[in-house]
């Protein structure tokens, strides 16, 4: 069966930000695309963070079964998609029998490749239903990747929100009032207890009086 659908260019470029540059786990070296009659999902991960993008526009129609059509779009195809603020969609053709993929973008030659041969991780198990807000510790390099995701979506990076769940549980990442994106950021270590109270820093040492200074000098002069 051959499926033709529209892919959101901004979603694809954003998802690409979470794909590792090099990894022996070939099954995460691409963007997972899931096309359903009423929505298209794109998911990517580097094992430490995950980006999930959801397009609820009708992108494929009735030709797609209710169970959906899934494939792992290789990095080479995703990287070929150019930024275009005025053209949100491009066309993808996928042959479920041969696993052939073709991307057709306006003004550019069609590009063909095989879907990545591998089973993408069960991302629905990773995406938490809710989080507690309990503090956790994160690698700032991974946070920086979400800044790239924000820019790919045309978002201001100052609108990134991280809602942690403490310990080693994944935190939810989201943008202010944006309903087409959710991210997961895994903590690097359990959160440490506070080693020193802020009151120690806020405390003011009383300045010594003239009598204190006189007594100190007298002590120092005593043989």
Instruction: Give the model's pLDDT for residue 62.
Output: 59
What percent of the chain lies above the pLDDT cut of 70?
Answer: 89
Ranges of each domain in the chain: 2-185
Positive or negative torsion for Cα 65, 67, 68, 73: negative
Q: Give the tens place of pLDDT for each residue, 148-179.
A: 999 999 998 888 999 998 778 899 999 988 99
Nearest CA to 136 out of 170, 112, 103 is that of 170
Instruction: Give the model's pLDDT for residue 191.
Output: 61
Nearest CA to 105 out of 93, 96, 122 is that of 93
Instruction: Give the model's pLDDT for residue 123.
Output: 96
Higher pLDDT, 16 or 201: 16
Distance of alpha carbon 51 from alpha carbon 43, whole angstroms: 6
Instruction: Give the model's pLDDT for residue 203.
Output: 82
CATH number among 1.10.357.10, 3.10.150.10, 1.10.540.10, 3.30.565.10, domain 2-185: 3.10.150.10
pLDDT band of 222, cuts 50, 70, 90: low
Q: Give the tens place of pLDDT for each residue, 29-76.
A: 999 999 998 899 999 999 999 999 999 977 666 578 888 999 999 999
Residue matched to tokens 């979506």: 153
């Amino acid at each position: 069966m051959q499926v033709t659908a529209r892919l959101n260019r901004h979603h694809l470029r954003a998802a690409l930000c979470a794909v590792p540059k090099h990894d022996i786990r070939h099954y995460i070296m691409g963007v997972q695309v899931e096309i359903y009659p009423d929505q298209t999902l794109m998911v990517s991960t580097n094992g430490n963070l995950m980006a999930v993008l959801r397009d609820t526009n009708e992108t494929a129609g009735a030709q797609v079964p209710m169970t959906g059509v899934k494939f792992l779009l290789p990095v080479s195809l995703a990287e070929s998609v150019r930024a275009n603020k005025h053209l949100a969609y491009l066309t993808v053709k996928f042959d479920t029998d041969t696993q052939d993929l073709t991307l057709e973008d306006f003004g550019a030659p069609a590009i063909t490749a095989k879907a990545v041969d591998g089973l993408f991780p069960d991302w629905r198990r990773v995406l938490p239903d809710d989080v507690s807000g309990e503090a956790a510790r994160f690698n700032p390099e991974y946070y920086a990747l979400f800044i790239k995701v924000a820019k790919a979506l045309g978002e201001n990076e100052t609108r990134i929100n991280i809602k942690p769940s403490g310990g080693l549980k994944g935190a939810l990442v989201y943008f202010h009032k944006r309903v087409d994106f959710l991210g997961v950021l895994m903590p690097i270590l359990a959160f440490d207890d506070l080693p020193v109270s802020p009151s120690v820093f806020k405390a003011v040492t009383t300045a010594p009086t003239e009598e204190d200074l006189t007594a100190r000098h007298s002590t120092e002069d005593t043989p």
